[in-house]
Structure 1
Amino acid sequence: MDILTLFVERTPTPVGDMLILTDAEDRLRAVDWDDYQPRMHQLLGLHYGKNGYVLRERGSASQARRRLDAYIGGELSAIDELEVATAGTPFQREVWAELRRIPLGRTLSYSELAGRIGRPKAVRAVGLANGANPVSIVVPCHRVIGANASLTGYGGGLHRKVWLLEHEGVELAPRAAARQPALF
């Protein structure tokens, strides 16, 4: 079995340092937050095997980093066509592909997402697939909310979900935003 080499970059954002992992073909493999590295390694282990990957520092900025920096800087469409490569089950990849179809500035409930993939009773499975997404932001799992418009979990912390949604122009209900923990 070949070991996958992933190149890691760090970039500052208003809500903490972001980790960007690309492969030798410059395809985006993972996006996570510096303070959530254990979660990132857990997901990578599930997707590629505990010893199936190795991380190396990247020497120069990848296309993924340049586009994510542009997105963070306000050019929201910069990540729309960014090439990603993920492992995962066929069901997970189906959910992740549908996540990329959620337009900027919009949200969707888990049940709506399940309906969009033709599996309206698979709401829990959709939630699990959403949580196993290794390419956050680009595969916008943050755009999925509860059926009652509540902000449900986000692997990078709810304060980041709030920031990302507001950054994309989503108007959050005052009580939903008020319930979220402070940024720092």
Structure 2
Amino acid sequence: MDDALQQLTSLVARLPGLGPRSARRVVLHLLKNRETVLAPLVGALGRVDAALSECDICGNLDIANPCRICTDAKRDPALLCVVADVADLWALERGRLFAGRYHVLGGTLSALDGVGPEALSIGKLVERVTDGVSEVVLAMNATLEGQTTAHFVAEQLAGTGVKISQLAHGVPVGGELDYLDEGTLAQALRLRRPLA
């Protein structure tokens, strides 16, 4: 294989969910479909690369700065959803379920990976909360790192007087108890609610 093709395959293999074999298949597909897939993909990547920036307010990635979410007048500025990563923000936006604004921390606390509070935008979050925010929704993953980060953020916001809530965790819709781990079941039991 040519060095340029090998480099392309290696770069594609770095994408999430792709290994070396999948990367070779993707590259082969791109090469076989140069006019209909490869050329438009290269063009789109170039345009995004040239225009993409991180929002100075929330940390979202967009072609506008501030991003379209932060400048949307229809969104409630009193509601702020805190997420670890831009991927989490995009996942929540896909469902169009949240009518407020966001704050991206840039990761989660992890002693093993050497990620401490100074590596995250927690200080900026505390500053934002003092500007008319009435509720902060902590939308962290139900992992040890996610929950540790949520507790740390809640401690940092404790003196601000803002309401702090967290996404519910537990049995997913359509989930069968037999397939759930003990942590998920324990959380579901702790967060149980009355039916009547």
TM-score above 0.5:
no
TM-score (structure 1 length as normaliser) = 0.25
Higher helix share: 2
Per chain length, whose mean CA-contact separation is higher, i.e. which structure has more relative contact order (CA < 8 Å, sep 6+)? 1
Give the greater-gyration-radius structure (CA): 2
